[in-house]
């Protein structure tokens, strides 16, 4: 497989998981998710221990789940509570595999590997999603491509000029040199544009005319997240690579969870430190961002189909691809370490 097993992956937005069972395949494992009465999230393998009907088709009863087919009832710990034939004694060795879940940054995170290693401290640091003075909104797209193609895409924003012309693309993106650096398990790609015209979105957010400094700092985080520090500040306001809260600033949040090889759950959003009380702005922005990311989805799915149709051809990396290349190297190194340790 192409992913790291011992890691936290986003299974769902917190708002997606409710009392009704939600089916989602995470890293090749069919999983059913639902909330208990106390709000806690249950995640178990979406296959009845009896005849393997997906449990997500079943009925929730209190905190338990009853299979639709023959009525086997499982508790939130996955263990049988009632056999199909009520007169049969309950066999507590009948159980569905459960997964460790943690809610953080508005997401439900799932640990798919060795349970003993599930340390919540290893959840990727998406601090802008939960910091005071910041608002966070987003959504979910299923994408029929390898999750690493999304990482490549997000670590190389030169594509904005062509793919997102009219919203966030501008020619200066291709004219400004980029800096790529690796720090431990993280990769940063920095682009700093001075004295440029703000593209339409940022002009509207800044609510000021005149040239701006614009930045994009992409950060890759294991196992498969990219957060992008973006924004503009009026020229002369003193914004620098180290400190740039002088204008309007946001973090594009992208968390990619492999569904299977070649398909990905894409959780995306934007955390912003402007118009934070304006729910209408947040909703309108989410719609805009959804439109921009849909342009990426069209490109990525076509790219995946082309890769499959041309198996004798290789992906080539130019200078713009260094961020994605480095991120893939880190994933691969970690993946091998875990395979060898197992
Ligand atoms: S398949 Fe679930 S009870 Fe038979
Ligand atoms: Fe894009």
How far, in Å, from the CA of 118 to the mean position of ligand 2?
32
pLDDT at 169 over 70: no
pLDDT at 166 over 90: no
Ligand approaching nearest to the C-alpha of 67: 1
pLDDT at 204 over 90: no
User: Using omega within 30 degrees of 0 as the cis cutoff, is the peptide bond preceding 223 cis?
Assistant: yes
Bridge pairing between strands 135-143 and 186-196: unpaired
How far, in Å, from the CA of 68 to the mean position of ligand 1?
7
Substitution candidate for ligand 1 out of 45, 69, 85, 95 with most atoms within 8 A of CB: 69
Average model confidence (pLDDT) for the chain?
95
Domains of the chain: 8-121 (2.102.10.10), 127-341 (3.90.380.10)
For the entire predicted model, the pTM comes to 0.95
Give percent of the chain above pLDDT 90: 86
d(CA 102, CA 250): 25
- CA distances from residue 209 to 246, 327, 336 in whole angstroms, order as listed: 15, 37, 51
Of 4-18, 51-65, 154-168, 283-297, the poorest mean pLDDT is in 154-168
Tens of pLDDT along 103-144? Answer: 999 999 999 999 999 999 999 999 999 999 999 999 999 999
Ligand approaching nearest to the C-alpha of 157: 2
- Residues in the ligand 1 pocket, defined by CB under 6 Å: 48, 50-51, 53, 67, 69-72, 84
What confidence tier does 271 reach under pLDDT thresholds 50, 70, 90?
Answer: very high
Tens of pLDDT along 36-90? Answer: 999 999 999 999 999 999 999 999 999 999 999 999 999 999 999 999 998 999 9
What confidence tier does 19 reach under pLDDT thresholds 50, 70, 90?
Answer: very high
pLDDT at 174 over 90: no
Within 13 Å and on the Cβ side, how many CA atoms surround 166? Answer: 7
* Residue 120, token pair as written in the block: 């919540």
Instruction: Give the per-residue pLDDT at 165.
Output: 80
How far, in Å, from the CA of 79 to the mean position of ligand 1?
14
Cβ atoms < 10 Å from Cβ of 341? 9
Instruction: Give the per-residue pLDDT at 170.
Output: 67
Please tell me which residue, 280 or 177, carries the higher pLDDT value.
Answer: 280
Determine the atom of ligand 1 nearest the C-alpha atom of 68.
2
The 3-state DSSP class for residue 239 equals coil
Tens of pLDDT along 276-335? Answer: 999 999 999 899 999 999 999 999 999 999 999 999 999 999 999 999 999 999 999 999
Residue 177 phi, psi (nearest 5) = -65, 150
Identify the residue whose tokens are 């909330």.
35
Please tell me which residue, 49 or 175, carries the higher pLDDT value.
Answer: 49
């Amino acid at each position: 497989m192409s992913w790291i097993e011992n890691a936290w992956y986003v299974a769902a937005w917190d708002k997606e998981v409710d009392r009704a069972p939600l089916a989602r395949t995470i890293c090749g494992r069919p999983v059913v998710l639902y909330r208990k009465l106390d709000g806690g999230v249950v995640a178990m393998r979406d296959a009845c221990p009896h005849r393997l009907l997906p449990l997500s088709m079943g009925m929730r009863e209190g905190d338990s789940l009853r299979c639709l087919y023959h009525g086997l009832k499982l508790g939130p710990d996955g263990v049988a509570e009632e056999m199909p034939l009520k007169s049969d004694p309950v066999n507590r060795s009948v159980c569905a595999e459960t997964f460790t879940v943690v809610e953080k940054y508005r997401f439900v995170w799932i640990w798919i590997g060795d349970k003993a290693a599930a340390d919540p401290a290893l959840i990727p640091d998406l601090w802008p999603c939960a910091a005071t003075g910041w608002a966070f909104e987003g959504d979910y797209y299923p994408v029929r491509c390898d999750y690493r193609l999304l990482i490549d895409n997000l670590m190389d924003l030169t594509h904005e000029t062509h793919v997102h012309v009219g919203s966030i693309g501008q020619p200066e993106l291709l004219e400004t040199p980029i800096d790529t650096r690796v720090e431990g398990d993280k990769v940063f790609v920095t682009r700093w544009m001075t004295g440029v015209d703000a593209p339409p979105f940022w002009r509207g957010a800044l609510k000021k005319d005149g040239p701006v400094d614009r930045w994009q700092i992409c950060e890759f985080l294991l196992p498969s997240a990219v957060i992008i520090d973006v924004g503009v500040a009026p020229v002369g306001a003193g914004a620098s690579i180290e400190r740039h809260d002088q204008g309007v600033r946001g973090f594009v949040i992208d968390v990619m969870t492999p569904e299977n090889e070649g398909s990905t759950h894409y959780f995306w959003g934007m955390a912003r430190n402007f118009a934070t009380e304006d729910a209408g702005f947040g909703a309108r922005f989410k719609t805009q961002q959804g439109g921009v990311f849909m342009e990426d989805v069209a490109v990525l799915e076509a790219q995946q189909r082309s890769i499959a149709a041309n198996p004798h051809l290789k992906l080539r990396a130019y200078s713009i691809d260094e961020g994605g290349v480095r991120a893939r190297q880190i994933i691969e190194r970690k993946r091998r370490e875990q395979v060898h340790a197992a």
